Copies of this chain bind each other. A is one copy, B any other.
Amino acid sequence: MKYCSTCGAPLNRRIPPGDDRPRFVCDKCHSIHYENPKIVVGCIPEWEQKILLCRRSIEPRYGFWTAPAGFLENGETVAEGARRETLEEACARVEIMDPYTLFDLTHVNQVYLMFKARLIDGRFGPGHESLEVKLFSEKEIPWDEIAFQSIKETLRLYFQDRAEGTFPLHTGRISPGQ
Contact = CB atoms under 8 A, between A and B. Distances in A.
Interface of A: 1-8, 10-11, 18, 21, 33-39, 71-79, 98-99, 102, 104, 106, 109, 111, 128, 169, 171, 173
Contacts of A4: 3, 5
A106 B109 CA distance: 21
Contacts of A76: 106
Nearest to A36: B38
B5 A37 contact: no
A29 to B, nearest CB: 10
B111 A78 contact: yes
B111 A72 contact: yes
